[in-house]
Structure 1
Amino acid sequence: MLTHPAAKTAATALGAAAAVGVGAVAWGSLVERNRYLVRHEVLPILEPGARPLTVLHLADLHLAPWQEEKQEWVRSLADYEPDLVINTGDNLGHEDAYDALEYTLAPFSSAPGVFVNGSNDYVGPSFKNPMRYFTGPSKHPKTSVVLDTPRMERYFENDLGWLSLNNTARAMTIKGSRLEFFGVNDAHRGWDKLGTLPGVIEDMRENVEWPPGLGGQESVSIGVTHAPYQRVLNSFVNNGANVIFAGHTHGGQVRLPGLPALVTNCDIPRDQAQGLSVWHNARRAAYLNVSAGIGTSIYAPFRFACRPEAVVVTLTASDFSYS
């Protein structure tokens, strides 16, 4: 029996589409999710004459113990000799990832750092229908593995010397610059306490003892959150943040080349779900750096047109010139 030419054409088109689909899945699951990159940004927000500061922004490791390539790549970032590490949470991707996480972050023990937690620092990952992300931020599973968050925090604070910013404010000096930090616990789970933020910031400012010679210098204020919900970003701007660091979105994780993120898993505009932008609120503004993150859930090990990243941000003096 002869086949109609139109039927042959349709069959050929379907076959080609299927091949493209299989190729895209193979690329996203086997190649792109392991094509780590370092994004570089420069922000002129320090006092005139200040020495530059190298900030390493780590987000969304979602680390599992067998992910050796990821561990070695993160360790290699110590070659940038960061003056400050900012960790925006979701470090753990498996209930047995503690030793792997400690090994991965050990090279940064000589660098001061700050951190906030994401929900996956408290509970283990679970399978979610990816299509539900198009209906709004993900829901929280009723049953999940409870992780040893205190162990992770003890390592961060006692071994690495990092400061927790979970609903609190801290301060430090680096290379002669006064830095103020404030942050919140995971806003995706509603654990942010924005109502207490002005009080803890004021308490920090009243009690901090700056080194001699820095009394007349203006401080640089840095806001840190895991999930960049608009209420958090607005609060940070209102409280004087010069720059905000966030993760959580995975940059959309699956994107169409040249277009904004398809989903954000929060209420941030899709065109600000990855990269450096400016967040405006109430006639104020702050730089906003949202990382696409380094990992993915072990139940969704796939990226497309959205490579995993760490971000190196160079803070320079406000008299910095690009000429």
Structure 2
Amino acid sequence: MAGAWRGVARSVGRSAARIGRNAWPYALAAVPAGVATWSVAETRMFTLRHDRVTTLAAGNEPLRVLHLSDLHLLPTQRAKLRWLRSLKDVEVDLVVLTGDLIASPDAIEPLRQALGGFLDVPGFFVLGSNDYTAPRWRNPLRYLTGPSSEDEAETDETPLPTDELRAMLTSGSWTDLTNRRDEVEVRGVRVTAVGVDDAHLDRDRFPDRAAATEAEDRVPTVHLGVTHAPYTRVLDAMADDGCDLILAGHTHGGQVRVPLYGALVTNSDLDTGRASGLHGWPGARPDRRGGEVSTWLHVSAGLGTSPYAQVRFACRPEATVLTLVQPRGEG
């Protein structure tokens, strides 16, 4: 009897081995299918991130800044619209939008409804290429060879109602920073800002430095730089202008990232190590206590994708609340 059972066991083992040898091609084939499924699902895994930035003068209360970018909104994206509406309960003092907000003329009113709770909060915005013209299909593999060109971005594209979008965004308390400067006072802090049009389309024209006023000596000041595409020429100009914090989008955080490696591209001349998140500029390894960083750079991975490349991998769609605080040891 024991010998019979040993024979059965050997037979089962041989069968299992044959099945295993035959099954491994199917297992390998399942890997890309699983990655593709996850990449589509991840486009709806919206995340609200939080970070602290040491910029405020001594004695000021923390200032909360909501950074939104690259929504690429379509009116049919109900999950994204629901998530945006859910942000109404987030307490912020200032809103900054860094472009590529819509992907369709019909998206302006849904965007207004989704962000309506913030329209009366002081804010700044600039626009991106997809706020001027509707997206069209391009081979996504071309992004691996370098940034798409201005000519490529503007050829045979359909204009979007940019003036209508601007009118909606300025209907409350938000200020258009397209190649200009402005300022607001928020909770006793004078927030000055300089912005440029989309550098990816070579529309950026850095505005001249405003003359100093007596008020600057009396009211604590935070100076912001706002741009859609984080090209180094713009970042350098903003750092030279004395910006405490630069806010940008455009990169989608790489959109498809390699685990343990990071982004492969930024679609600009920004290094991939700063494709998203908070970094020093130009320093690559900032001291987060504020001791060695004069200009911070925050690049948002954004909330959307092109309608023709609706995938993300290891790069969840995001908005960020940046809390501006004073450096340790001050106050």
In 1, Cα distance between equivalents of 2:233 and 2:226: 13
Is 1:146 equivalent to 2:159 in the alignment? yes
Who is 2:298 aligned against? 289
User: Whose radius of gyration is greater, 1 or 2?
Assistant: 2
Q: Deviations over 1:174-231 (max 9, x none)?
A: 101111100100000000013xx2x2x315x45xx85xxx743442110010000011
Is 1:16 equivalent to 2:27 in the alignment? yes
Deviation at 1:11, TM superposition (A): 6.2
In 1, Cα distance between equivalents of 2:114 and 2:219: 36
Instruction: Look up the equivalent residue of 1:34 and give its one-letter code.
Output: R
Q: Which of these residues, 108, 114, 120, is aligned with residue 118 of structure 2? A: 108
Secondary structure, aligned partner of 1:140: helix
Who is 2:129 aligned against? 119
Q: RMSD across aligned C-alpha pairs, in angstroms?
A: 2.1
1:60–1:296: 8 Å Cα contact kept in structure 2? Answer: yes
Quick check: 287-296 or 256-265, which moved more?
256-265
2:188–2:219: 8 Å Cα contact kept in structure 1? Answer: no
Q: Which of these residues, 276, 297, 321, is aligned with residue 312 of structure 1? A: 321
Who is 2:147 aligned against? 137
> Structure 1 pair 96/11, CA: closer, same or farther in 2 (3 Å)?
farther
Q: Which of these residues, 239, 246, 253, is aligned with residue 244 of structure 1? A: 246
1:74–1:104: 8 Å Cα contact kept in structure 2? Answer: yes
Q: Deviations over 1:143-164 (max 9, x none)?
A: 111000000101111x222101
Q: Which of these residues, 148, 169, 175, is aligned with residue 156 of structure 1? A: 169
> Structure 1 pair 134/9, CA: closer, same or farther in 2 (3 Å)?
farther
> Structure 1 pair 266/10, CA: closer, same or farther in 2 (3 Å)?
farther
Q: Which of these residues, 179, 195, 204, is aligned with residue 191 of structure 2? A: 179
> Structure 1 pair 224/295, CA: closer, same or farther in 2 (3 Å)?
same
Where in structure 2 are the equivalents of 1:158-237 lying within 5 Å?
Answer: 159-194=171-206, 197=207, 199=208, 201-203=209-211, 205-206=212-213, 210=215, 215-237=217-239
Is 1:64 equivalent to 2:66 in the alignment? no
Who is 1:93 aligned against? 103
Secondary structure, aligned partner of 2:105: coil
Is 1:278 equivalent to 2:280 in the alignment? yes
Quick check: 38-47 or 225-234, which moved more?
38-47
With the length of structure 1 as denominator, give the TM-score of the two structures.
Answer: 0.88
Query: Percent identity among equivalent residues?
Result: 42
1:65–1:96: 8 Å Cα contact kept in structure 2? Answer: yes
1:56–1:312: 8 Å Cα contact kept in structure 2? Answer: yes
Secondary structure, aligned partner of 1:160: coil
Deviation at 1:114, TM superposition (A): 0.3
In 2, Cα distance between equivalents of 1:125 and 1:13: 41
Q: Count how many residue pairs are aligned between Structure 1 and Structure 2.
A: 303
Who is 2:91 aligned against? 81
Secondary structure, aligned partner of 1:297: coil
Instruction: Look up the equivalent residue of 1:230 and give its one-letter code.
Output: T
Deviation at 1:96, TM superposition (A): 1.8
Instruction: Look up the equivalent residue of 2:28 and give its one-letter code.
Output: A
Instruction: Look up the equivalent residue of 2:275 and give its one-letter code.
Output: A
Instruction: Look up the equivalent residue of 1:276 and give its one-letter code.
Output: L
Instruction: Look up the equivalent residue of 1:288 and give its one-letter code.
Output: L
In 2, Cα distance between equivalents of 1:91 and 1:320: 39
Q: Deviations over 1:30-57 (max 9, x none)?
A: x111000111111121111101111000
Secondary structure, aligned partner of 1:310: strand
